[in-house]
Amino acid sequence: MIFSNVNNTLVARHQTELLCIEAWGQDALRVRATQYTDFTGRNWALSEEVPEEQRKAEITIDGNEKAVIKNGRLSIRVNGSGVLSFYRDGKLFLREYYRNYEGTESKESRCLKIVGRDYKPIIGGDYKFTLRFEGNDGEKMFGMGQYQQPYLDLKGCVLELAQRNSQVTVPFAVSSLGYGFLWNNPAVGRVSFGKNYTEWQAEATKEMDYWITAGDNPAQIIENYTAVTGRTAVMPESLLGLWQCKLRYRTQEEVLKVARKYRSLNIPLDVIVIDFFHWTRQGDWQFDSEYWPDPGAMCDELHDMGTKVVVSVWPTVDKKSIHFQEMFDKGFLIRTERGSLQTYDFQGDCLEIDVTNPKAREYLWEICKKNYVDYGIDMFWLDNSEPDFAVYDYDNYRYALGCALEVSNIYPQLYAKTFCEGMTALGREKEMLHLVRSAWAGSQKYSTLVWSGDVPSTFESLRDQLSGGLNIGLAGIPWWTTDIGGFMTDDVDDPAFKELLLRWFEFAVYCPVLRMHGDRGPHDIAPLSDKEYGGGYLYTGRDNELWSYGEEAFAIMKKQLDTRLSLKPYIAKLMKEASETGAPLMRTMFYEFPEDEKCWELNDQYMFGSDYLVAPILHAGEFEREVYLPAGTWKNLNDDKEYEGGQRVLCAAPIEMIPVFKRVQA
């Protein structure tokens, strides 16, 4: 290797590879490599200004044999063959996986001819890139966004790096060994957290780019990470109560009827959500005036009740939309490389808007401002924000920013940015929120509330959501919610579903946002119109309000909602903490108790902030469960009994409550 110190950056060259390592934040380094003569200059998720003192590194070069770069507690050693080894406070914790004749730290398996950074040329294009690290026995990995699986510890998992409905790729991992790793690359790919080695892959890229930091505990690691990728705003306390939604309110009178009933029952309704196909066609981004004759008056009445209004916006543009031809002519739509000009086929023949194009973002915002904001709509539900494709052939789609294989994962971040910048320009940055179905690293800075997608109404799915909510918080995104009861319900009258709904509601009380939503079957409600377009023709689901499931269920949910409302000041403090440090609201047990080894093994209970320990019921027919209490004194809120920590306790869990403990302050 030929080493040099260029403007406080360690630069190494070997044959056609250029390697660059530089200080980037608190106890953190950014590592890039390419086979081109220079880098693209894109910072991707690393969007925040870094203080000058955190951009200074100590660099030592020993001829062509080795070099070391150090920033605070983190250092990287590069040997003469370009193999990287990582140290925290001088102790090795990670090394590239390298099995070749030159540069191997040990002499085992040199004949395998495997290198840590592997570039496979794509004919006529860039590279498929693979990065490998040695495995660490006993290591646990967390974060990475939200995947539909019950595993909280991701060690041993293979994860697709791609956005799908209910799968949210946020490629930041927190290790039990005291480091955080950001794969700063929006390419479609895969990561394997294997026992023998870890392998990151990008299907198409021009360069390797990752960021790594060291810390004593997960809280410190996430604080370092969100300092360089951005932090969320403070969610207003007025949004921390009940959100009401269903598939779907078809008219403004249906919306007002629901809100009026909540008011008559003296139940505060913070937010009501208007779901999809309130529009004429996909891509028209406007109310169908036949069913929404006066959106301004509707919003005024809801605001008088103290209720904010959210409206659904999809990125899909039907070829019969009033905007399609103009958008197509201006190059504002995602392109297909071959076959038909179609990316989405639900209820129409559609392409999706290319939000990687700044001009397309401006175009979308101006329409939505005119047709929604100017009527009084408060916030947006950015559905299908992956974007959802009819067929996930990423190699068939192209954006202004590049081919989908290379850049697709950043789409939901830029979709939210569209509305964030628009609302900010109106001076509404302190009250905006964007409900999204997908996200990427840094999405949190655009006031995104991620919900877990169109998940099934099953206890198995509820278990998956718990793991997903905890891991996405560790990936830097603190605002997260679910469809209470799951999205896909066949029969609302099934007693098994009502049991699930209540258990899910009890869990959601201790989530960042409490939101009723779902597609409630059976679909036996006649459409309002026999036309093949517009707000009246599409099906709707059964009622989904608190009173829709019988008197017993209503009484239970009403009491649980009262608990939620009493927690509003506490949750508001957690929201402020999230904006200042990046701390998630839903926290793994080890986040709060990193010195307790048992807490690193728990995946069925969590901390809501630092005060409340929540043990949701995750199985049908379960009316008691064990709860592990860490060190300290804990008060069971269901019976007011106090317990000393360091033990497991068996707790009753009748249908109207789940075990919740509050930490007793000394």
Q: Which residues are designated catalytic?
A: 383, 386, 454
3-state helix, strand, coil in the chain (%, to 5): 25, 30, 45
Coil/strand/helix, residue 446: helix
User: 85: how many CB neighbours lie within 10 A of its CB?
Assistant: 19
- What CA–CA distance (Å, rounded) separates 144 from 141? 9
Write out the two tokens for 468. Answer: 């997903």
- What CA–CA distance (Å, rounded) separates 249 from 640? 41
Give the H or E element holding residue 60.
strand 58-62
Write out the two tokens for 203. Answer: 């299907």
> Residue 83: left (phi > 0), alpha (psi -120 to 50), or beta?
beta
Nearest in space to 454 (alpha carbons), one of 386, 512, 408, 407: 386
* Backbone φ, ψ for residue 66 (5° rounding): -165, 165
Token match 């939620």: residue?
564
> Tell me, what DSSP letter sits at residue 95?
E
The end-to-end CA distance of the chain, in Å, is 57
Angle ∠(462,505,450) on CA atoms, nearest 5: 65
Sign of CA dihedral 580, 584, 589, 595: negative
Give the H or E element holding residue 299.
helix 295-304
- Per-position DSSP letters for 194-216, written without gaps between them: -SSEEEEEEEEES-EEEEEEE-S
The Cα-based distances of 446 to 156, 419, 443 in angstroms read: 32, 9, 6
By the 8 A CB rule, do 78 and 1 touch? Answer: yes
Coil/strand/helix, residue 412: helix
By the 8 A CB rule, do 340 and 376 touch? Answer: no
- What CA–CA distance (Å, rounded) separates 469 from 400? 32
Query: Quick check: bond before 218 cis, omega within 30?
Result: no
Helices (H), 317-458: 324-329, 358-371, 404-407, 411-425
Coil/strand/helix, residue 258: helix
Coil/strand/helix, residue 489: strand
By the 8 A CB rule, do 162 and 411 touch? Answer: no
- What CA–CA distance (Å, rounded) separates 174 from 143? 6
- What CA–CA distance (Å, rounded) separates 445 from 477? 9
By the 8 A CB rule, do 210 and 86 touch? Answer: no
